[in-house]
């Protein structure tokens, strides 16, 4: 099983986004993980085609590629694993689909759900929303750095903080023990994604 990097990019497949361009900038800056997260309107064929291309970019950069929710796409495209949220397959079922060696992430918001996800086979946890975000609708209230810290202290797997993460906020999240931060809108909506990716890398270097 691969070691998880500390900067994660989650793709933004909404119309008008330059998905592969942003992935390229992130990888060039040292992001170690790219998670393909297709919007609901994206067909399986489109998700597969995108994932194959992202896997190739990740392989060339020595990075990890994961797929959100659509575990059959992860398997078909040769990704390193997947991530399941609260409304996706249960973690134990997802582990059976992916097999024992794949990376499997699960969403958690508190120590109780975090411990259960790990017991069911999650190898890392996506915890949040750390801050308010407009990238994804229907999310619960932000838990803040204190909420992230509570999960970090409850489990022994990597905790990846997600939701409203900017370079400035990344430093706060690393300070409370988050293994990594996951970035969506701060990269996909940036006027200069290369410069933004470099800022994230600088924050990580300063806290390592």
pLDDT digit string (tens) for the chain, length 208 residues: 457 999 999 999 988 899 999 999 999 999 999 999 999 999 999 999 999 999 999 999 999 999 999 999 999 999 999 999 989 999 999 999 999 999 999 999 999 999 999 999 999 999 999 998 776 666 788 999 999 999 999 999 999 999 999 999 999 999 999 999 999 999 999 999 999 999 999 999 999 7
Length of the chain: 208
Q: What is the DSSP string of 103-148?
A: EEEEEESSHHHHHHHHHTT-SEEEE--SS--SSSSS-----HHHHH
Q: What does the alpha-carbon distance between residue 103 and residue 80 come to, in Å, rounded to a whole number? A: 6
Strand partners, 124: 105
Q: Name which of 203, 193, 189 is nearest 133 in CA terms.
A: 189
Burial state string for 90-101 with b = 16 or more CB within 10 A and e = fewer than 16: ebeebbeebeee
Q: What does the alpha-carbon distance between residue 122 and residue 105 come to, in Å, rounded to a whole number? A: 5
Strands 7-10 and 64-68: unpaired
Burial group, residue 43, by CB count within 10 angstroms (0-12, 13-18, 19+): exposed
**CB 80 within 8 Å of CB 66:** yes
Backbone angles phi, psi at 173, to 5 degrees: -75, -40
Q: What is the pTM of this model?
A: 0.95
Q: What does the alpha-carbon distance between residue 155 and residue 162 come to, in Å, rounded to a whole number? A: 17
């Amino acid at each position: 099983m691969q070691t998880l990097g500390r900067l994660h990019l989650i793709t933004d497949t909404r119309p008008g986004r330059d998905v592969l361009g942003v992935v390229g900038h992130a990888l060039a800056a040292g992001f170690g993980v790219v998670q393909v997260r297709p919007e609901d309107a994206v067909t399986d064929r489109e998700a597969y085609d995108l994932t194959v291309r992202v896997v190739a970019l990740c392989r060339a950069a020595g990075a990890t590629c994961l797929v959100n929710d659509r575990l059959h796409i992860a398997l078909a495209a040769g990704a390193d694993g997947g991530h399941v949220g609260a409304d996706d397959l249960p973690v134990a079922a997802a582990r059976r689909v992916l097999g024992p060696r794949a990376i499997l992430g699960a969403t958690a918001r508190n120590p109780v759900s975090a411990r259960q996800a790990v017991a069911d086979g999650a190898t890392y946890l996506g915890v949040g929303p750390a801050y308010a975000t407009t990238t994804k609708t229907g999310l619960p209230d932000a838990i803040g750095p204190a909420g992230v810290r509570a999960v970090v202290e409850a489990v022994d797997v990597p905790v990846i903080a997600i939701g409203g993460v900017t370079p400035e906020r990344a430093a706060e999240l690393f300070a409370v023990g988050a293994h990594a931060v996951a970035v969506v809108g701060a990269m996909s909506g940036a006027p200069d994604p290369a410069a933004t990716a470099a800022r994230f890398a600088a924050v990580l270097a300063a806290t390592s």
